[in-house]
Amino acid sequence: MRRRAKRDLMTLVGLVVIVASVVGINGYLRREGLRAGYEKMRALVENQHRSEGVTLVEWKELHQVTGRRKTGAIFPDSLKEKDDRLVNIVGFMSPIDQFRNVTEFMLLPVPLVCYFCDAPPMRDIIHVKLKEPANMVNEPVLIGGRLQLHEGASPLFFYSIENALWNEAVEDEEATEQITGKDHRLHLMEGFGELRGGPGLMEEPEEELFPGYTPPLKPDAE
């Protein structure tokens, strides 16, 4: 009798293990399927904005970031080059403390539900501070603003986007060509000439020193 009870107990344990395994596999497949669906949704929005000429930061670039909150982040060089520059990125909004008229929230590559009660890794979270309030939505949104990388130990977030626009792209600043007036260029040339021993010792032609400069006509000698 005791042997039979032991056998029944082992059978019951085996069934529990099998059921738990099936539930675990189904849960894993459901999580993976849910994440894949949201990533596909985000990719469609990204491709739409790219077709409109918008340059986007890719989440896979952010996934190269390593480190923990306690020790701080280690950023790849490609991301460091974007620090304090205007960028655009598509992601899902996640609330911090409210859902309507928000001025700040977290931006994630997939919705928070895809992490199934686990906290998202720090590299997956961008702290967004909006220029104008907006309402939380379930669909992926375009965020444009100034990227700030937060280095050092124990940052609240690895990165943030400041003064951000909601569902609107921004254009990064471009270096502008310096244009100097002719009178100012002439003054500079005279100053350089004095430093080099007087105007007569300036060897380079004025046109080579200041492209586009046309020297003034000299009055006829009396």
DSSP letter for each residue of 97-151: S-SSSEEEEEEESS-GGGGTTSPPPGGG-EEEEEEEEE---SS-EEEEEEEEE--
List the alpha helices (DSSP H) in 52-84: 59-62, 77-80
- List Cβ neighbours of 174 (8 Å cut-off, separation of 6 or more): none
194: pLDDT strictly greater than 50 = yes
Question: What is the model's pLDDT at position 117?
Answer: 75
Cβ atoms within 10 Å of 39's Cβ, excluding its own = 15
Interval 114-130 mean pLDDT: 92
Question: What is the model's pLDDT at position 28?
Answer: 47
Q: Where are the domains of the chain?
A: 1-174, 178-212
Say if CB 135 and CB 100 are below 8 A apart.
Answer: yes
Length of the chain counted residue by residue: 222
> Which tokens go with 29?
């497949």
> What 3-state DSSP class applies to 169?
coil
Question: What is the model's pLDDT at position 10?
Answer: 59
How many Å is the Cα radius of gyration of the chain?
Answer: 31
Interval 120-137 mean pLDDT: 96
Question: What is the model's pLDDT at position 26?
Answer: 41
> Which tokens go with 59?
């989440």
Interval 141-150 mean pLDDT: 98
Predicted TM-score of the model (pTM): 0.67
180: phi > 0 → left, psi -120 to 50 → alpha, else beta; which?
A: beta
> Which tokens go with 91?
């992601």
Residue 4 vs residue 49, higher pLDDT: 49
> What 3-state DSSP class applies to 17?
helix
Question: What is the model's pLDDT at position 197?
Answer: 59
User: What CATH class does 1-174 carry?
Assistant: mainly beta
Question: Which residue from 133, 167, 128 is spatially nearest to 146, judged by alpha carbons?
Answer: 128
